[in-house]
């Protein structure tokens, strides 16, 4: 999820994987997107759900998958877009490596 230009807080990217590092099925990914849309944010344990079925779906999904939030790095208005993109890509790569122990 992208932040608006003036926003400085929140997560804009997540790294999602199966806990066994297997392939995420299309159905499972669609469930993730559906639950994210219902919450209007990335899902996490402890989210409040309006319906018990949604809560059950989220619990089941989170039991099989890990979701790691990657905070958007700080930027300044005068930073060149290309430099920022390189910085952001490097930041994501470092975070993913830390999540999986590389």
pLDDT tens for 10-41 read 557 899 999 999 999 999 999 999 999 999 88
Residues 80, 40 contacting (CB under 8 angstroms) = no
Whole-angstrom Cα distance, residue 43 to residue 48? 10
Global confidence as pTM: 0.76
Is 79 or 83 the better-scoring residue by pLDDT?
A: 83
* The pLDDT value given to residue 9: 60
The percentage of the chain sitting over the pLDDT mark of 70, rounded to a whole number, equals 79
């Amino acid at each position: 999820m992208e932040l608006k230009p003036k926003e400085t807080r929140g997560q804009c990217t997540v790294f999602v994987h199966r806990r066994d590092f297997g392939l995420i099925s299309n159905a499972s990914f669609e469930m993730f997107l559906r639950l994210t849309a219902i919450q209007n944010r990335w899902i996490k344990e402890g989210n409040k759900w309006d319906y018990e079925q949604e809560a059950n779906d989220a619990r089941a999904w989170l039991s099989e998958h890990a979701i790691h939030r990657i905070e958007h790095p700080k930027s300044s208005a005068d930073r060149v877009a290309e430099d920022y993109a390189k910085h952001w890509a490097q930041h994501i790569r470092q975070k993913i490596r830390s999540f999986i122990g590389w």
